[in-house]
């Protein structure tokens, strides 16, 4: 959508400020202050899309799901509880196609040494997907924009969700491995430590295991929403001066380690997670590679300003339904 020159100039200014604010996980003002400031601005900047998403959810969500094509909208058995849902049914639409397409990409690129490995701040976690894959592998978008998936995410978020338009990327095929890590037995760092995502509140991930994952694969590990809230309360998490990453000993001084949930499941298993309210980490001791497809949903009004400086990371063809158009943000 074309924007007036004045709005483009404002977006550039906000983008520069947002890049400074975002640095080092919003440490300058503190996470909570930065998120509130960003949310307040985005509510004004994207007031119209926000209103459309909320109005369509309140008044037309079931109709939009029907038009988008699904047959089991009276099945209420699939829903997120305590901030997450693990589905092992392998009944979700396009899932088998997703696994086949992901497997083909893994065979092509999974054993290639990643570019820029010596400069990587995460030498244990790599992106395999390339822009053309979303065109050559339509199953990736057909899966995440199916009514069965959007019903779960929309009902949980209580709005029509939006595939992330900047950070985290909307669609990622990720490999976790110790193969290129110069210090795999060292202290945990970056996303190997517990944290809550700060891109929006809520952020909902949909994670698909495209190959079997065991404890030897550095599995994605989470805490439920209630346990996470207690940890955040006691640590005063997201306050100014409080680190973004949280050490195990801090977490487990508040809750028992047995409360942690490992996403170690067979391929085809799907995790729905409110990553902004459930502490999580991954990629520890991945002596065997872990492959997972990751999707990220936000609201139209994020709690960061990355849309103004990071830019869109996904472009798609004209969508097939009003709901898909809204989810991909074509009306922005």
- Distance, CA of 141 to CA of 101 (rounded, Å): 12
Q: What is the mean pLDDT of the chain?
A: 92
The answer to the question of residue 332 being in a domain is no
Helix, strand, coil % in the chain, rounded to nearest 5:
40, 15, 45
pLDDT of the residue at 33: 95
- Domain of 104? 5-327
Tokens of 249: 């000993």
pLDDT of the residue at 217: 98
The packing angle between helices 47-68 and 31-45, to 10°, is 80
The answer to the question of residue 137 being in a domain is yes
The answer to the question of residue 196 being in a domain is yes
- Considering only CA atoms, which of 239, 196, 229 is closest in space to residue 36? 239
* Mean pLDDT, residues 301-315 taken together: 81
Q: What is the number of domains present in the chain? A: 1
**Residue 38, phi-psi category: left (phi > 0), alpha (psi -120 to 50), beta (remainder):** alpha
In the chain, the percentage of residues whose pLDDT exceeds 90 is 77
pLDDT digits (tens, 9 = 90+) for 5-42: 778 888 899 999 889 988 888 988 999 999 999 999 99
pLDDT of the residue at 128: 94
- Distance, CA of 50 to CA of 70 (rounded, Å): 25
pLDDT of the residue at 244: 96
Is the confidence at residue 281, as pLDDT, over 60? yes
pLDDT digits (tens, 9 = 90+) for 154-206: 999 999 999 999 989 999 999 999 999 988 888 999 999 999 999 999 999 99
The answer to the question of residue 64 being in a domain is yes
pLDDT of the residue at 183: 87
pLDDT digits (tens, 9 = 90+) for 226-264: 999 999 999 999 999 999 999 999 999 999 999 999 999
- Distance, CA of 68 to CA of 144 (rounded, Å): 12
* Mean pLDDT, residues 295-304 taken together: 97
pLDDT of the residue at 230: 98
Is the confidence at residue 317, as pLDDT, over 70? no
pLDDT of the residue at 205: 98
- Distance, CA of 45 to CA of 130 (rounded, Å): 31
- Kindly indicate the confidence band of residue 118, based on its pLDDT and cuts at 50, 70 and 90: low
- Distance, CA of 186 to CA of 154 (rounded, Å): 40
The answer to the question of residue 304 being in a domain is yes
pLDDT of the residue at 316: 57
Question: 98 near 133, Cβ under 8 Å?
Answer: no
The answer to the question of residue 32 being in a domain is yes
pLDDT of the residue at 153: 98
pLDDT of the residue at 75: 52
- Kindly indicate the confidence band of residue 329, based on its pLDDT and cuts at 50, 70 and 90: confident
pLDDT digits (tens, 9 = 90+) for 205-236: 999 999 999 999 999 999 999 999 999 999 99
The answer to the question of residue 300 being in a domain is yes
Query: Which CATH number is 165's domain given?
Result: 2.60.120.620
pLDDT of the residue at 125: 93
- Kindly indicate the confidence band of residue 49, based on its pLDDT and cuts at 50, 70 and 90: very high
Is the confidence at residue 4, as pLDDT, over 80? no
- Kindly indicate the confidence band of residue 320, based on its pLDDT and cuts at 50, 70 and 90: confident
The answer to the question of residue 129 being in a domain is yes
- Distance, CA of 139 to CA of 317 (rounded, Å): 14
pLDDT of the residue at 331: 66
- Distance, CA of 61 to CA of 67 (rounded, Å): 10
Q: What is 13-69 written as a DSSP string?
A: HHHHHHHHHHHHHHTTT-HHHHHHHHHHHHHHHTHHHHHHHHHHHHHHHHHHHHHH-
- Kindly indicate the confidence band of residue 121, based on its pLDDT and cuts at 50, 70 and 90: confident
């Amino acid at each position: 959508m074309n924007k007036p020159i004045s709005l483009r100039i404002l977006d550039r200014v906000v983008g520069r400020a947002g890049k400074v604010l975002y640095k080092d996980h919003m440490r300058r003002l503190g996470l909570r202050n930065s998120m509130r400031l960003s949310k307040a601005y985005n509510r004004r900047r994207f007031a119209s899309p926000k209103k459309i998403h909320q109005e369509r959810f309140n008044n037309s969500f079931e109709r939009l799901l029907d038009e988008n094509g699904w047959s089991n909208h009276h099945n209420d058995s699939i829903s997120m509880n305590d901030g997450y849902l693990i589905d092992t049914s392998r009944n979700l639409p396009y899932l088998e196609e997703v696994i086949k397409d992901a497997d083909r990409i893994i065979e092509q690129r999974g054993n290639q040494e990643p570019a820029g490995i010596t400069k990587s701040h995460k030498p244990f976690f790599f992106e395999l997907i390339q822009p053309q894959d979303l065109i050559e592998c339509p199953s990736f978008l057909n899966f995440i924009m199916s009514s069965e998936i959007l019903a779960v995410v929309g009902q949980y978020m209580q709005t029509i969700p939006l595939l992330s338009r900047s950070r985290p990327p909307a669609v990622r095929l990720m490999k976790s491995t110790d193969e290129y890590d110069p210090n795999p037995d060292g202290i945990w760092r970056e996303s190997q430590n517990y944290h809550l995502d700060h891109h929006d509140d809520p952020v909902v991930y949909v994670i698909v295991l495209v190959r079997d994952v065991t404890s030897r694969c550095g599995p994605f590990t989470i805490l439920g929403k209630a346990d996470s809230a207690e940890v955040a309360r006691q640590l005063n998490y997201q306050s100014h001066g409080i680190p973004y990453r949280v050490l195990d000993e801090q977490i487990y001084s508040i809750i028992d380690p047995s409360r942690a949930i490992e996403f170690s499941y067979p391929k085809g298993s799907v995790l729905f997670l409110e990553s902004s309210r459930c502490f999580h980490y991954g990629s520890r001791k991945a002596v065997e590679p872990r492959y997972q497809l990751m999707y990220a949903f936000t609201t139209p009004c994020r709690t960061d300003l990355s849309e103004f400086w990071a830019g869109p990371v996904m472009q798609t063809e004209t969508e097939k339904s009003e709901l898909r158009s809204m989810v991909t943000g074509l009306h922005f």
